[in-house]
Chains A and B, each alone.
Chain A
Amino acid sequence: MSGNEVIAEVKNLRTYFHVPEGVVRAVDGVDLVIKPGRTLGVVGESGCGKSVTALSLMRLVPSPGRIEGGEIIYYQSVRETSASSLSDIIDITRLKPNSREIRAIRGNHISMVFQEPMAAMLPVRTVGSQIMEAITLHQNVSHQEARERAIEMLARVNLPNPDRIVDNYPFQLSGGMRQRAVIAMALSCNPHLLIADEPTTALDVTTEAQILDLMRKLQADYNMAIMFITHNLGVIAEMADEVAVMYLGKVVEQTDIRSIFINPLHPYTQALLRSIPQLDDVMTRSGERRQLHTIKGMVPDPYTVLKGCPFHPRCPHFMSEVCDQVVPEVIEAEPDHIVRCHLYAPSPEEAQTRKEAML
C-alpha cells in the first residue's frame, strides 16, 4: 500500500498489563490499516482488546499497561494550521508518553470519543470552555475566535441553540446532546483520524441512529478516517467500509464490509454473525421463543496464554495437533481478505507452487 492512501498503520502491536495475578496480553499482535475518508470497524467480544488498541494509538494506555512491541505508524499529511514540527512519518510507539510530540497529535491529528457521554465532561465547567480548550491549545486563535469556533462546532453536530449551549453545563444536557457535544469537542481541530470507542452504546436506538448519521456526514465533510469500535454488528454494517474482527488481543480477520457479511472466513466471525438475533429467529410462528445462537464455551481468563490458536477451545473446526500447537499466521486467503486460521493455510504442495510462481 502506498503511503498517501494510508493514514495509520498498526503493525504487530502488543500492549500488556502487568498485574499481580500475572500478565494480561490485552493486545497481542494486532495489525490494522486505516485509510483516509474511510471507516474501519473493529468488532469482537467484550475484553478482546478493542479499547486497549484504541488507547494505544493515542498512547493513553493506563498503568500498569504498557506497549511492549510493534509499531503504530502515523502518516501525517501537511496541514496549514499545524505549528508543530512533526516529521511526516511518525512511529507513535516511539514517542515518550505525555511528551510534547504526542500531545501535539492528541486532539489535533487524532481524536477520540468514548463510550459514556455522561462521564466524558467535567460537570463543573461549561461545555463551551471544555471545547474551546482544545481549540486554543492546538490553534493560534484568540479566546473570542475559539468561542465562535466552538459555537460553530455545536451547530455542526445539530445541537439546537448552540450559542446558548456553549454556556451550559454538561448536566444540563441529555445523554444524546452530551454525546453530540463530545463529538463536537473531538472534531473541533479537524482531526485526520477519529477513534470512536462504542460512541452510541449508552444511547437509545433513535438517538444512536441520529449520531451515526451525523458521524457519517461529518466524515464526508472533513474526509476524515474513523476507527469505529463496537460489538454491535448491525452498527458495523451501517458504518464501516472495512472490518477487523478481534479475538483475545488478535485481529483474526480483516476485509471489506461486503466480504465480512457475505463470505466470512474465520470460524469466530462466522459464529459471531450467527449470534445476531433476527426477528424470525427469535420467535417461531406459534409465538414460542427460540434459543439464541451463542458461541459455545467461554472467553478464557485473561492470564492464561493459550498454546496455538486462541480460538481453538471454542472452534467447531478444531483440528488437533495443529490448532492447539501452532499459532496461525496472517494469511491473505483472498485478495484484500486477511484471516488468521489454519483452515486457510496453504497445503505444503500449494505453498510450494506459490513459492515457485513468485520466483
Chain B
Amino acid sequence: MLAYIIRRILRAFPQIILISILTFIIIQLPPGDLVTQQILNLQASGVEVSQQHAEMLMRQYGLDRPMHERYLLWIGNIVTRFDFGYSYAWQKPVAEVIMDRMGYTFAIALLSAILTWVVAIPVGIFVAVKQYSITDYFVTFMTFIGMAVPGFFLAMVIMYVALTRFGIRVGGLFSPEYMVQPWSWGKFLDLLSNLWLPVVLLGIGGTAGTIRTMRAMMLDELRKLYVTVARAKGLSETQILVRYPVRVAINPIISGLMWLLPWLFSGGLLVEIVLNLPTAGPALYSALLAQDMHMAGAYILIVGALTIVSAIFSDILLAVSDPRIRFGAVEGA
C-alpha cells in the first residue's frame, strides 16, 4: 500500500511540471509584456522614458534572458518564495492579492464538497432502496432541477427575493460593519452566517449529480447475487446495505473526488461574481480580462495543481476502498 502511494505521488511530478510549462507559455502568449505596459503607462502620464531606463526595467524583470531561463526564474520564485509575480492591474504582488481570497475559496469549496457527500450519499442509497416510490420520483425530479438550474441563477433569484420581499441584502461574506474590522469572534460568526448561502448554492449541482450516480450504482449492486447471499446469512437489511452494495457503489463517488474540488474552485465563479464574494475566482477572472498575465498564470497553475493533488487523493482513497485496484486485478464484475 505504501509503495502504491509513493509510486502514485512520484507519477504526479511530471504532470505538475507539464502544467507549469503550459501555464508559462500561456502567460507569454499575449503581445506586449509587463515592461512595455509600464513604459507605455509612464509615457502616457507624461514621463519621458529613456532607452537606458527601459533596458534597466527589462533586466530587472529578466526579460532579456532566453525563454527557458525565464521559465526557471518564474517557477523558482513560485516554489521557493511563493512569489507568483506582480499583478499589474492590482499594483501588488499576485500572492498578496490572492492569499486571503484563496482561503475563502478553499473554505467554501471544501464545505460544499462535505455538504454534497453528507446529503447525496444517504439520499442516493435511500431512493435506490425505495425505487419507484413517491420519494424516489420526488427526489429524481428535484435532482433534474438541481442539475438543470445554474447556481448563479438561483443566487440571483434568492438575492432578488430577499431584497424585495424581506428587505435583506444577501451577498458578500461579511456584513458591512465587519468588513474592515480585524478578526474577532463576532466577525467569525458573521462569516458563518453569510457562508452557508454560497456553500449551498455551489453544492446543489454536485449534490444532484452525486445522488443520481449513487442511485444508479446502488440499483446495479442491489441486483447482484452477493446481496441475496448476505440476506441468506441472516443479516438485517441495514447491515446488508452498509456492508455490501454501498462498499462498491461508493467507488465512483471517490473517483469523482478528482473533479469535485477543481470543479468547485472554478465552477463556482459565476455564483461568486453574482454574490460579490471576496474569493479568488472573481479576482482572477478580472485578471484574465485585463490581460494581467501573472495573475492569470497563478490561477491556471493553482487549479491545475489542485486537480493533480485531488487525483492523487482520490486514487489513494480508491485503493483503500477497492482491493482490486491495490492488487492490480481489475475485472468486469
Q: Is B322 in contact with A124, judged by CB distance below 8 angstroms?
A: yes
A119 to B225, CA, bound (A): 6
Q: Is A169 in contact with B327, judged by CB distance below 8 angstroms?
A: yes
Given contacts A122-B247, A122-B248, A125-B247, contact A116 B225 (CB under 8 A): yes
Interface residues of B: mostly helix, strand, loop or mixed? helix
Q: Is B225 in contact with A98, judged by CB distance below 8 angstroms?
A: no
Shortest B57–chain A CB gap in Å is: 61
Given contacts A120-B225, A172-B329, contact A106 B234 (CB under 8 A): yes
Per-residue B-contact encoding for A160-186, CB less than 8 Å = 1, 0 else: 000000000101100000000010010
Interface members, chain A 111-133 (any B CB < 8 Å): 111-112, 114, 116, 119-125, 133
Q: Is B234 in contact with A120, judged by CB distance below 8 angstroms?
A: no
B65 contacts across to A, CB distance below 8 A: none
Q: Which of A114, A116, A119, A137 lies in contact with B233, CB distance below 8 A? A: A137
Q: A58 on the interface (CB 8 Å rule)?
A: yes
Interface members, chain A 299-320 (any B CB < 8 Å): none
Shortest A207–chain B CB gap in Å is: 19
A112 to B327, CA, bound (A): 30
Q: A49 on the interface (CB 8 Å rule)?
A: no
Per-residue A-contact encoding for B305-326, CB less than 8 Å = 1, 0 else: 0000000000000000111100
Q: A138 on the interface (CB 8 Å rule)?
A: yes
Q: Is B234 in contact with A108, judged by CB distance below 8 angstroms?
A: yes
Q: B243 on the interface (CB 8 Å rule)?
A: yes
A114 contacts across to B, CB distance below 8 A: 225, 228-229
Interface members, chain B 15-44 (any A CB < 8 Å): none
A171 to B226, CA, bound (A): 14
B327 contacts across to A, CB distance below 8 A: 169, 171-172
Q: Is B323 in contact with A169, judged by CB distance below 8 angstroms?
A: yes
Q: Is B226 in contact with A60, judged by CB distance below 8 angstroms?
A: no
Q: Which of B224, B244, B324 lies in contact with A171, CB distance below 8 A? A: B324
Given contacts A116-B225, A122-B244, contact A103 B321 (CB under 8 A): no
Shortest B271–chain A CB gap in Å is: 37
Q: Is A124 in contact with B248, judged by CB distance below 8 angstroms?
A: yes
A124 contacts across to B, CB distance below 8 A: 247-248, 321-324
Shortest B224–chain A CB gap in Å is: 6
Q: Which residue of the partner chain B has the closest CB to A137?
A: B234
B321 contacts across to A, CB distance below 8 A: 124
B333 contacts across to A, CB distance below 8 A: 119, 123, 171
Shortest B61–chain A CB gap in Å is: 55
Q: Which residue of the partner chain A has the closest CB to B330?
A: A171
Q: B331 on the interface (CB 8 Å rule)?
A: yes
Q: A264 on the interface (CB 8 Å rule)?
A: no
Q: Is A121 in contact with B226, judged by CB distance below 8 angstroms?
A: yes
A125 to B240, CA, bound (A): 13
Q: Is B243 in contact with A133, judged by CB distance below 8 angstroms?
A: yes
Interface members, chain B 96-130 (any A CB < 8 Å): none
B interface residue numbers (CB < 8 A to A): 224-226, 228-237, 243-244, 247-248, 321-324, 327, 329, 331, 333
8 other A-B residue contacts (CB within 8 Å) besides A119-B333, A121-B226: A58-B232, A103-B236, A104-B234, A105-B234, A114-B228, A124-B248, A124-B324, A125-B247
Write 15 A-B pairs (CB below 8 A) sorted by A numbering: A62-B228, A103-B236, A106-B232, A108-B234, A111-B232, A112-B232, A114-B228, A114-B229, A121-B229, A122-B244, A122-B247, A133-B235, A133-B243, A134-B234, A137-B235
